[in-house]
Structure 1
């Protein structure tokens, strides 16, 4: 857990001679502890900090004491201004690094399972879509066949009645009228049967 910060140049200059903290009349103990902390240089724990050179670490306790003193004096100097350029110091912890790596592996495994589960669901949904499409194609095909049979049946009834009525009627008008009546009756019967069949197919979808 972080317990200190790397002091920035602003804080170092403020504590130096003629700095912004000089008029604030810091307690002797607090100033001595701050000067001692800023005077010590600590080597960085990782490659990035070691490349930037030694670091001056100030504990959070000293920062809190400094903030409390400035607040009690009603100073117009704000702590966040003094900490400009400072950074929280996170020492390297092998146990913490190992724990973070373990967490990263667990998260990667969970993400992989989530992705593969979605792929499986998509495959099942894809199969269901093809099955539904096959049913719809078969329904359309059956409907086309039923309409074709309806037309052929009505036409055949009309022609047969027209040709057969020549032995009963000598004139064309009665023959056509009789053919229309018979074709209408046959068409209504076929239409009734076709509608009932379509209702049964739609109920199965």
Structure 2
């Protein structure tokens, strides 16, 4: 917080004239402070208390000068901010709180992860069960494809006794293969529903 002014050349010149003026005599304490101030090399700092004394003198003596005229080219002197040292107990407490919050965040993120389930899921018996499951799916898909292809082939070969044109034979074979494929899908879905326990 500012508590003084850095005065400029205007202040120096006018205060020098004021001190040399034989008509008005400055109070002893104020005169000493101003003389000491003028003998200092720039930047010259004028405290607020000295500025108040000077203002009071100017008002009481009826001088044609005002304080703001003296301080035209002056500026506020802002002392450099010195950061106070941090309390080590407070720093240690903040570190503990940060660590606790980080631990709570980690626990919140991993609350539905169970390491025992992870280790149990990757045993060889579970691997064998997964292989059997994949094998069953592959066999089912292969069986479906073979059945549809066989139905198409049988229909195509058997339709030669009914149709003489190739287009009609292909269409009839596609229809037969589609019917067989839909029937296979229906049976497959009903079987899967039964395995899952659904009605």
TM-score normalised per structure 2: 0.38
Normalised by the length of structure 1, the TM-score is 0.37
- Computing the radius of gyration over CA atoms, which structure comes out larger, 1 or 2? 2
